[in-house]
Each structure stands twice: as structure tokens, then as C-alpha cells.
Amino acid sequence: MSEALGYLLALAVGLALGVLFFGGLWITVNKGMKSARPALWFFGSLILRTTVAIGGFFLVCRDDWARWIICLIGFTAARFAVKWWTETRDAEAARMERELPHAP
């Protein structure tokens, strides 16, 4: 595998891991706040998300420090993308809720 292809793969995996990690966090917060057992949601999600992220990093990056940096850049970029998407989605849901007709 060429070096550039390896770096591109590291970036793509970093993005995917970031989407899984931060998207999973958003889902956990939404589900956990409505749950009768929020600690189970938060702790279980923390363990699962962290295990998947760290495992993915080690699987792709191995001992190449440049891949670690590139993968972390992808992971961080995904954080901003998920943040933007969830804020947009939450704002849209709030707008729809305000516009719903209510009985007098």
C-alpha cells in the first residue's frame, strides 16, 4: 500500500470513528435523559464508544506516528461536523415545535 493511500485511509477512518463516537454521544444524551436508568446508558455508551475508537485507532495507525496525527485530525473534524449537524437538527425540531398549532 502506498504511503499516501495509507494516510488517506487513516483520515477516512478517523472521520468514521469521530462520527461514531460523537454521534453516539449525542444519541446517548438524548436517550439517557429520557431513561429510567440514565447511568446505564451513559456508562455503557462510554465503554462501547471508547473501546471502538481506541481499537480503530490502533488497528489503522499501528506504529506510524503520522497516521496517528492524520487519524486524530479526521476524528476532530468529525466532532465539528457532528456538532453542526446536531445543532441544525435540534434547531429545526425546536422551530417545528413552536410552529405546531395548539388548542386554545
Q: What's the pLDDT at 73?
A: 97
Strand positions, DSSP E, 1-104: none
| All three cell numbers of 89 | 437538527
Residue in the block written with cell 434547531? 91
Maximum CA extent, the chain: 67
Can you give the pTM of this predicted structure?
A: 0.83
Burial annotation 21-43 (CB, 10 A radius, 16+ → b, else e): bbbbbeebeeebeeeeeeeebbe
Domain locations in the chain as residue ranges: 3-99
Query: Which stretches of the chain drop beneath a pLDDT of 70?
Result: 1, 100-104
Q: Radius of gyration (Cα) for the chain, nearest Å?
A: 18
Residue type, 94: A
